[in-house]
Structure 1
């Protein structure tokens, strides 16, 4: 028998169909082991030795055993994991595990394929190779580098920076980009400007004529800077009679974009489909494993020659001959540090224009059209500019329009962009000639303000990271997700907003570890890792160079007192936290001290249990404080008003608390509050009103007559009825679910948990059955893993590995717990007496 190892069950199932009965295909479920998350897993003093352990997940351990057992009965082991650095690493881990278990077959080979089709798989089996040690070394170098960075720096953060959770090599640089953009927006000062546009008509076609020259002078963007100037220009246009002086027509050509790489797929899916980077990769993974597309982790922009010819044939079948260019198109990546080791992302067959369902189908359609368009003819356009002047020649209007003469690739696909210009090129103009006098209907003067640079979306952040050469396409989704999970950023209307904790962390790293969040340094590290994968460098030398500088710097910062760190950050962030005041008072002026007549009273950055804040130097006499990140607020309150409730008229505010962001309506004990869910990126006033209105009553249960409610409870979105909870997939479903679906969820929950509590939770594992026929389940509870038979819950001892627990051991634990009887309720302790009281009694006795 020949044993083939791949990453996923779906991939295994597809490949096993292609290979036949003599092959057994097993999935490793991704990586089988990793560095333990504790100190000492990478030991620089021992030539960067690394400890690895199999994932504790029961499914993973079970699968590793299945692979080892199958390997013992096999004559040949074929490692067929993905054709990239991570895929090579998974194969290496599997090989090392089998060596330790003495289960290695006599023949071991490595095969790779870029698409899961029968031809690609069978051809790969005929051309095996050995494991690529250079790729493995690059993986080891990257993994050790990330571990040393995170596990050395995170303890420094925990001790010196209140509220900080962790830092990562690439994640910290991505966070810096977001925070720097936030600073640019805050210091931006908007300039007022006006535009004057005449609504015109000629031969029944309406169009706009924009004022571009006024009183003999060319108008720049900010020339008309106030209403007075704009009204004067408007009056001049209204009084003038404009005739066409010049009609200029220029041909334009647009060429198609190359097929998708990982990063461009993430960007375009975000723009066109609204997908997050992680969701895009999940859908792409499913399409790849189903054999619909080629490998989706790539920075290559070129398709295989056979695929190019297939695309050209598909174009000829669907369009006229002039839609297919005479020669195939070839592309070259412009991305910094691009390896181009694999093909671009494309369909495995251009005869198949549909694949998957739901979001997968939408993504496939995007991939298919982009790949086909990349081999289509250039689009031919015509841009027309019409210049109109009044009799004095001092005032000039201009109208522009664009006409598509031959669509070419635009018949299939048009690329979208984050930065959309405000020009009128897409307008359709009537045919006009010199001397024509279009009718002037109305003239409008419109006020505008210059806009700050836009906040990053996922698409624009990925694009910027790629331009800087930071990280790799396969890491962008996880990097962005980590920033969100750590609450360093939040998403609103698909844009990144830096949270206070993220801004403070960035300031700390910029002040104490400037080199390690520098864009050039991080990009150079990526280049060095690429040199390792190309066999041009040695990974331990790279680690040694990094550690020689990084470790002393970390030790130096660790020796500083937290108060000293806060003082340094207070000075470092002074311009942001304490800007110049418009009322002429000192930037650090304390309004409460001034109000109460105290001398001094300067504001400074302070560190608290739940993070940094701004406080007065006269504390405790002065208890003024405001949140970090709210420069210039004199009342110390949360400046987060979102608007008024449409029915009650009460103000709704956005706030941040110990357990995360929330919205509040009203004040004091009667205030209504609701947590802001993490799965709602476009959280606005409308969503705030919805969340404050929960729970939502769906209606009476058809059997009991009691109301079924939908809401966001302690364990997330769910439906509730008489103490039973049925879990929902996301927050949006709270407002969409109907009666039939709610009843089904509640019935399922009741059957799993005896009709009470969190019935919809899935067990980690079913160990077997009791004598009465009840399932014995391994559950993951709030206070750790436990065993239950549906009636008795038994805690698993800390020294016992939950993954190795047998049915007999579980039954023993349940029996022991049942013998003890129900747990007694703990009595509430009386409030402790003040410590000063005994001292007073002692003094009295004396």
Structure 2
């Protein structure tokens, strides 16, 4: 009898990452001896139902397995048990380190073992090199994450119940969100208290030979003069005798403009908002996709950018060298500034590189067919900025002239690109404005002078980009906190977006007033920035997290006790809606809910009739020709237009119907926003367009 030996099964190494998309990409790079699985984010956390912090035991967090992740945890335990070795490869930041620490605890791994693998980009070389140098779990990073989690839990779970009790259910407070809310409200108060001041300008059109150019009034008799009244303007114009002016000063200079730094998380969020109209959350979502990997056809799946949560502008020497080779090959050696050092902003943790393409050779054009529209737009932004950051300065020839007649002075400035430098890929300069050649003593002719009255404007409300910039400049929050902070203050209806600018609501004003009065440190920008710095010290082993929490909590609990007894119940009064309930006949009122104001029957709870507050635009529905078109909002707060007879009529449009039909095809016309802030009437069904409206 012939017996056959069973082939021994080779044990595989197990690698655990957070995301399934990331798992697929990495498994392809590591080969058959590795199995890569995903934890799908955190597997342990604090309870949602309670504070979950042991104040009597040095603020020890009380973790539990996240509800619903039991089957996943069991699968991870089975895979770990049969694996040759387990590697923890969650994201290279505090949050990722904490996820690895929790995984080690649940899987019974020795935390001193070198089983932690980190990489800043998901490329074959980066991943393979990282597995050659695994390390032990970094407890300083874990402690830094725990400290923030515990601090945020103490603030949120202490103040929020007071707001629920004294104002209304569903409210919350937090370290960064409360500061963001106060900034928005302080700006609103500035706008409301602003007193405009009158001022005047005089712009002139002049001519040298046949070439015209623009100049602006500067002053009188060698002194700069600010024109504040029409009388002053008349006095200036009265001194001008005839149209001939003399060139009495000419300055020519060469000016350099250095390339912008590569992106950090916050600068990427700002630029994406300003240049490609991405909300902060969308920017981070698309960046995550680019980081985790995109299929490039026969080239396989590749991570296209480095890790997108960073406050560093540092670039690795290897990436600098690759960029220099690319720039030299495409543009010439004079465009490359290889070897120059980029200084980080003060306070930057420098845990990772700046956000850059993983492979500079993968130009946006070369991989465009593999990316969706949003991925391509964001990748192009990142690629252009990185390549530009490694290029030489742009050089301009500038010219400034002063024109004089009878003591009246006008000035004109012009510039021309002498060497484009980094602007060959990232043109962020105004268009060149050249002046005709002029020398001191030349005569020019005045063609036109145009006096104009102006009034000083109040500061603008914050947009997502300017709010992030302000928070970062003040040292409040960190790159990973900005997107969830902005989302939370909108979700709680503390603020609303109007024309892409944050406007505080009545509810936001009430909550802010209470927090400012009873918890002043929470909304103190300096205090919050100093706390961020202390928490950063934990990350580098300079401070013990429990001591930082204790120094905060001892005075905070005194404020809590005072707030509990002294804050009086606030009644948010219902406003009359001006019409009766169509179900029971009682008066309808305007109530404030989680998602804003709505109509409700005053006979609640006996009558539960509610209606959405809508805004008519004065157009009959183009589909049913019976209902009125009203302005509505999607779940993501985006305005769209629909028929007020819904669900009988299901007409909807993202663009605003104008009540006229297309002369070509008789389809209804709509008003569409165009670049530059204007609008244009177009037909969605044909190529018909009308002139742009400013």
| TM bucket normalised to smaller | 0.7 to 0.9
Task: Indicate if the aligned counterparts of 1:696 and 1:711 stay in contact, CA closer than 8 A.
Answer: no
Q: Distance in 2 between matches of 1:190 and 1:171?
A: 31
**What corresponds to 1:19 in structure 2?**
30
Measure how far apart 1:61 and its partner are.
4.2
* Correspondence for 1:408: 421
Distance 1:657 1:212, change over 3 A: farther
Work out whether residues 112 and 136 of structure 2, in 8 Å CA contact, stay in contact via their aligned partners in 1: no
The structural deviation recorded for 1:234 is 3.3
The 1:149–1:663 alpha-carbon spacing in structure 2 relative to 1, beyond 3 Å, is: closer
Q: Is the 8 A contact 2:495 2:505 kept in 1?
A: yes
Partners of 2:67 and 2:285 in 1: CA distance: 23
Query: Structure 1 residue 439: deviation in Å?
Result: 2.6
Confirm or deny: 8 A CA contact 1:697 1:710 kept in the other structure: no
Look up the match of 2:434. Answer: 428
Cα separation, 1, equivalents of 2:466 and 2:474: 12
Answer yes or no: is 1:262 the counterpart of 2:265: yes
Aligned to 1:195: 201
1:63 maps to what in 2?
72
Any idea what the Cα deviations from partners look like across 1:586-637, whole Å, max 9, x if unmatched? xxxxxxxxxxxxxxxxxxxxx32458xxxxxxxxxxxxx99xxxxxxxxx99
Partner SS state of residue 248, structure 2: strand
2:56 match: secondary structure: helix
Aligned to 1:29: 40
Distance 1:106 1:513, change over 3 A: closer
Match of 2:362 in 1: 352
CA contact (8 A) 2:198 2:228 kept: yes
Q: Aligned match of 1:555 in 545, 549, 561?
A: 561
| CA pair 444-657 structure 1, distance change in 2 beyond 3 A | farther
**Shift of residue 726 of structure 1?**
13
Tell me the distance in 2 between the aligned counterparts of 1:522 and 1:308. 36
C-alpha separation in 2, matches of 1:713 and 1:197:
44
Alignment of 1:754-833 (within 5 A): none
How far, CA to CA, are the matches of 2:525 and 2:305 in structure 1?
33
Report the CA distance shift for 1:35/1:489 in structure 2 as closer, same or farther (over 3 A): same
Change (3 A) 1:322 1:726: farther
My pick for the range that moved more, 711-720 or 269-278, is 711-720
Match of 2:319 among 278, 299, 307: 307
Would you say the 8 A contact 1:33–1:55 is kept in 2?
yes
Distance between the aligned counterparts of 1:204 and 1:710, measured in 2?
55
The C-alpha deviation readout for 1:466-521, integer Å capped at 9, x for no partner, is: 11111111111111111111111112222222222222222222221112211111
- Provide the rounded CA distance (Å) in 1 between the counterparts of 2:111 and 2:558: 46
Compute the displacement of 1:179 (Å): 1.3
Task: Name the TM-score, length of structure 2 as normaliser.
Answer: 0.80
3-state SS of 2:75 partner: helix
Correspondence for 2:91: 82
Please tell me whether residue 366 in structure 1 is matched to residue 381 in structure 2.
yes
Q: Give, in whole Å, the separation in 1 of the partners of 2:91 and 2:442.
A: 66
The yes-or-no answer on 1:608 pairing with 2:571 is yes
2:202 paired with 1:229? no
CA distance in structure 2 between the partners assigned to 1:493 and 1:713 by the alignment: 14
Whether contact under 8 Å (1:383, 1:425) holds in the other structure is no
1:268-287 → structure 2 map (5 Å cutoff) = 268-287=271-290
Q: 1:295 aligns with which of 292, 299, 307?
A: 307
1:385 aligns to 2:388 (yes or no): no
Partner of 1:251 in structure 2? 254
Per the TM alignment, residue 693 of structure 1 is displaced from its structure 2 partner at its CA by: 5.2
Post-superposition offset of 1:388? 0.9
CA drift at 1:253: 0.9
Q: What's the offset of the Cα at 1:47? A: 2.5
1: CA distance, partners of 2:633 / 2:551: 50
User: Does the CA contact (< 8 Å) of 1:329 and 1:374 recur in 2?
Assistant: no
The 3-state SS of whatever aligns with 1:454 is coil
Deviations along 1:796-837, one digit per CA (max 9) or x if unpaired, are: xxxxxxxxxxxxxxxxxxxxxxxxxxxxxxxxxxxxxxxxxx
When residues 246 and 298 of structure 1 are mapped into structure 2, their CA distance, relative to the original with a 3 A threshold, is same
1:195 is paired with a residue whose SS is strand
Query: Among 318, 323, 331, which residue is 2:330 paired with?
Result: 318
Label 1:733 to 1:234 Cα distance change in 2 as closer, same or farther (>3 A): closer
Name which of 646, 658, 681 aligns with 2:592: 658
Describe the SS at the equivalent of 2:183: helix
How far off its partner does 1:304 sit?
A: 0.7
- Among candidates 473, 476, 480, match of residue 474 of structure 1: 480
Aligned to 1:608, what secondary structure does the other structure show? coil
Distance 2:111 2:413 in 1: 72
- 1:63 Cα shift? 2.9
Q: CA RMSD, aligned part only?
A: 3.5
Unaligned runs of 5+ in 2: 1-11, 294-302, 579-588, 600-610, 659-694
User: How big is the shift at 1:735?
Assistant: 7.7
Q: Secondary structure at the match of 2:79?
A: helix
Q: CA deviation at 1:233?
A: 2.5
Measured in 1, the distance between the counterparts of 2:645 and 2:182 equals: 48
User: 2:327, 2:391 within 8 Å by CA — same for their partners in 1?
Assistant: yes
Once the two structures are superposed, residues 636-659 of structure 1 have per-residue CA deviations (whole angstroms, 9 ceiling, x without a partner) of: 99xxxxxxxxxxxxxxxxx97534
Matched, 1:697 2:631: no
Q: 1:10 to 1:610 in 2, by over 3 A?
A: farther
Question: Are residues 1:732 and 2:654 paired?
Answer: yes
Change (3 A) 1:425 1:696: closer
Where 2:541 maps in the other structure, the secondary structure is coil
CA distance in 1, matches of 2:111, 2:155: 38
Higher mean C-alpha displacement, 490-499 vs 363-372: 490-499
Given the superposition, is the C-alpha separation of residues 726 and 55 from structure 1 closer, same or farther in structure 2, using an over 3 Å criterion? Answer: farther
TM-score (normalised: structure 1): 0.66
> Aligned with 2:443: secondary structure?
coil
Which stretch has the larger CA shift, 17-26 or 239-248?
239-248
Between the aligned partners of 2:507 and 2:287, the Cα distance in structure 1 is: 33
Tell me the equivalent position of 1:338.
Answer: 348
**Residue matched to 2:216:** 210
State the alpha-carbon separation in 2 of the partners of residues 396 and 97 from structure 1.
Answer: 78
Among 116, 140, 143, the alignment partner of 2:149 is 143
1:661 Cα deviation from its structure 2 partner: 5.1
* Alpha-carbon shift at residue 218 of structure 1 (Å): 2.9
Unaligned runs of 5+ in 1: 417-423, 564-606, 612-624, 627-635, 638-654, 665-672, 677-687, 700-705, 737-846
Structure 1 residues 107 and 539, CA gap change in structure 2 (3 angstroms): closer
Q: Matches of 1:365 and 1:23 in 2, distance apart?
A: 33
1:517-536 equivalence runs, <5 A = 517-536=523-542
Q: Quick one: distance in 2 between partners of 1:543 and 1:727?
A: 55
Distance in structure 2 (CA, Å) of the matches to 1:527 and 1:105:
27
The change in CA–CA distance for 1:82 and 1:164 in structure 2 (over 3 A counts) is: closer
SS at match of 2:253: strand
Q: In the TM superposition, what whole-angstrom CA distance separates every residue of 1:243-270 from its partner, at most 9, and x where no partner exists?
A: 2122111111111121111111111111
Query: Matches of residues 598-677 of structure 1 in structure 2 within 5 Å?
Result: 607-609=570-572, 657-659=591-593, 675=613
Q: Distance in 2 between matches of 1:492 and 1:713?
A: 12
- Flag the 1:111–1:275 CA change in 2: closer, same or farther, 3 A: same
Task: For CA contacts below 8 A with separation 6 or more, give which structure has more relative contact order.
Answer: 2
The 3 A distance-change label for structure 1 pair 715 and 523 is closer
Greater Rg, structure 1 or structure 2? 1
